[in-house]
A and B are shown apart, each in its own frame.
Chain A
């Protein structure tokens, strides 16, 4: 836990320093530094860095224009998420509908967030700018060389290269990941659902109502709480099995293929890799039809009498084997099918890692007379685990969010026989993500989907923190540098 504590302390220290520098700059700066609080370029202009001054001032003007022309339309309505209901009237002259100037709650929320992010960035730039002007002043007072614009630019390929590298990717991440995630968090506190769908209706803030309805049962059978516990349970079971079966399957497969006894290992490996090459939506939809109630596997099973036998021992009550349609059967099948698509992948990874297995250890084990299992148990496995522990953690999180496998195998095929689950639009085989996808796609219940999304995040975060702090000791980053 020291690591987290250290990180948190470091974070606050960093913020403290940041503000400290800024206030020091404001307090000790000359008139140009103080003026640069208002006109960003002022400090540079005084030191004859005219290009930089122009750029910074242009940036400032841009920010002001953004605030006046764009943000002002949305941010003031952020508190209510809009009050003007859409109304329309048909104009027979133009043969068109005429709309009033209505509010669109979702766009208000989205664009307000967008504005907040832009302003936050603007604030940081403004403060850094003041500090930079102050540094310039200090340099000038100490009689040091003031960079020309060209020299400044060169710095961005030298000491400040990381800024050059990171700017575009970070902008991408902020627009396409950070803002959507923030939006999701905010939606969890609104009543955005089928009754409140923009643009025809407005939605508004409701506080913690949605969280309450997820965690309280209220005596009714129609509760998200009931379904939630079961879906969460299966999500964790699935993530555990999906991660470990493919992991060990991959290792075993690669040991098998890389054994000296294997003839033509490349051929075998290539054959296995073909299964990765077929896109999942093709291979999974195919397998789903392969195992469907009236599918080819069922036909064959019925023909060889397997179906009848299972029926006679009471394992099934239907005239077919419900591979993907009954709880239990479907759970097992999904994990087996996941082994099918996951093992070749893990096999490739394991092959690469085992190639790096220190051969002297294997050699000495052989000399000591260890048998194959002992070698595997005491040398190969510990090495693998040590190397791949972080990937195991990320794989687990990926499996919690493994949308494709579950959706493609069960959507439209699996019908729950648990009425209480059905009443919450859930199925026994749903993961939290497929459930929330279904809630948004078919029931437009964005508010509950957002709440579930946050819960998924918390589950993943807790798991990752615990795993990284207790299972994986130390940060290996420094070792190789």
Chain B
């Protein structure tokens, strides 16, 4: 089957190269990827060159962390790399600034050269990733990795049963004199509690965010209830609110028995908790009488193409190549990053990886976040207020705090 496929690919390539006159000079493309990915990307770029031996390339690889890609790109779109990796929450800003190519405009080239349509790509990857790469019904980027958070815990202190609920988890940790760590001061993490109650956010075409956390959710819970539940967790002796960038340090510090983090910390967790560490979805949250799953954010890492690239067509080819099944498998082997490609994630190695299992479990109940730029600062502040206990526990003060939060998040952009 694979042989047949590659044969087919080769045929289409020969045909297509007959149609397109090869460019005279080398095709210049610049690529940005994360620091940790440099070696892997360099190898894949060589593979790309080998896949198109008739065309001369001059590909420059640069370093730009996925989490800061947007900041650098938007400062000067025209000087940014032609092909770049970014975290999916940046998509709205990139689209609004015209810094990312609508892939449908170049689909013809993709079909002719790589023999793939956009539908093929959409079918090859998990649905959430495609949703995250779509904005205003247009498909913008090639996903290559799942990037959500889930829970690691140390079975020496916490049993699988205790890890089922927040109460059980925290009590077990307290009994062992250990802590449970999570970032509250970030809208990426703390939305999990509101998602649990059925609240959601959405994004308007003008970049503003809709949010109704100060009201009642479709599931019938109020925002106040959610905040009270959060306060109960944050006020527990065993809970430790950790700043966004400090999680890894704290894991290494050795005081934690459980932590909410992602695959980027897998190795560290395995070093600290021991190889028998467990990974799973976030525990159940108690809202009133009910216990509901805490629904974390499901994010992805993807590769986009700069509309101001000189060689847009080839840049799209490269972007697609760096995210195809083969590349995703190679990436997993190099860095244990969970692939979005369905075929790639079915391999045994991927399935056996505890981090991936935890992430998959979390993603099963998770929510793909769609928010604008004004979302982040107010929600971070809100989480910090809960972490530091500056919001009163009475309903009135919680309601006021929520009203102010919603006002900040839904404010007009600009």
Contacts and interface: CB of A to CB of B under 8 A. Distances in A.
B304 interface: no
Interface of B: 20-21, 23, 71, 74-75, 77-78, 93, 96-99, 105-106, 108-109, 112, 185, 206-207, 237, 240-246, 249-250, 253, 255, 307-314, 373, 377-378, 380-385, 387-390, 401, 404-405, 407-408, 411, 413-414
A434 interface: no
Given A194-B373, A294-B240, 5 more contacts: A93-B21, A97-B307, A221-B404, A293-B246, A294-B242
Nearest to B313: A95
Contacts of A297: none
B257 to A, nearest CB: 15
Interface stretch (A30-38, A64-72, A438-446, A451-459): A438-446
29 contacts: A90-B108, A90-B313, A92-B313, A95-B23, A95-B313, A97-B307, A97-B309, A193-B413, A194-B414, A197-B74, A199-B98, A200-B98, A220-B411, A222-B411, A292-B246, A294-B249, A318-B241, A318-B389, A412-B245, A413-B243, A415-B185, A415-B243, A415-B380, A417-B390, A419-B405, A421-B381, A422-B382, A425-B377, A441-B75
B246 A220 contact: no
A137 interface: no
A445 B93 CA distance: 13
B414 A191 contact: yes
Contacts of B250: 294
Chain B residues touching A, majority SS: helix
Contacts of B384: 325, 415-417
Contacts of A86: 98
Q: Interface residues of A: mostly helix, strand, loop or mixed?
A: loop
Contacts of A193: 413-414
A306 B215 CA distance: 42
A204 B237 CA distance: 55
Nearest to A95: B313
A311 to B, nearest CB: 12
Interface string A270-298: 00000000000000000000001110000
Contacts of B377: 422-423, 425
Given A97-B312, A417-B384, A199 B77 contact: yes
A158 B207 CA distance: 63
A292 B380 CA distance: 18
A201 B413 CA distance: 15
Across the A-B interface, the 3 shortest Cβ-Cβ residue pairs:
A200-B98, A95-B313, A423-B408
Interface residues of A, number: 48
Contacts of B411: 220, 222, 423
A194 B207 contact: yes
B256 to A, nearest CB: 10
Nearest to B383: A415
Interface in A425-469: 425, 441-445
Contact of A199 (B21, B78, B312): B78
Contact of B74 (A97, A425, A444): A444
B71 to A, nearest CB: 6
Interface of A: 86, 88-90, 92-97, 191, 193-197, 199-201, 220-222, 292-294, 317-319, 322, 325-326, 412-413, 415-423, 425, 441-445
Contacts of B97: 194, 197, 200, 444
Given A197-B74, A197-B97, A419-B405, A95 B243 contact: no
Nearest to B105: A90
Contact of B243 (A96, A222, A293): A293
B407 A423 contact: yes
B312 A445 contact: no
Given A293-B246, A417-B381, A419-B378, A96 B312 contact: yes
Contacts of B407: 220-222, 423
A222 B311 contact: no
Nearest to B405: A419
A419 B408 contact: yes
A191 B384 CA distance: 32
Contacts of A412: 243-245
Contacts of B246: 292-294
A222 B405 CA distance: 10
B261 to A, nearest CB: 14
A95 B314 contact: yes
B243 A292 contact: yes
A428 to B, nearest CB: 11
B385 A417 contact: yes
A187 to B, nearest CB: 14
Contact of A445 (B98, B245, B309, B414): B414
A90 B96 contact: no
Contacts of A294: 240, 242, 246, 249-250, 253, 255
Nearest to A422: B381
Contacts of A441: 71, 75
A197 B99 CA distance: 10
A196 B312 CA distance: 24
Nearest to B74: A444
A293 B242 CA distance: 8
B109 A90 contact: yes
A421 B378 CA distance: 8
B77 A200 contact: yes
A441 B75 CA distance: 8
Given A200-B98, A325-B243, A194 B401 contact: no
Given A96-B310, A194-B413, A416-B381, A317 B388 contact: yes
B289 to A, nearest CB: 29
Given A417-B384, A422-B381, A195 B206 contact: yes
A87 to B, nearest CB: 11
A466 B390 CA distance: 41
B404 A419 contact: yes
A230 B112 CA distance: 59
Nearest to A93: B20
B224 to A, nearest CB: 16
Nearest to A200: B98
Nearest to A322: B388
A326 B96 CA distance: 35
A441 B68 CA distance: 11
A95 B77 contact: no
B401 A95 contact: no
A89 B249 CA distance: 48
A95 B384 CA distance: 49
Contacts of B312: 90, 95-97
A422 B408 contact: yes
A222 B377 CA distance: 12
Given A95-B311, A96-B310, A221-B408, A419 B242 contact: no
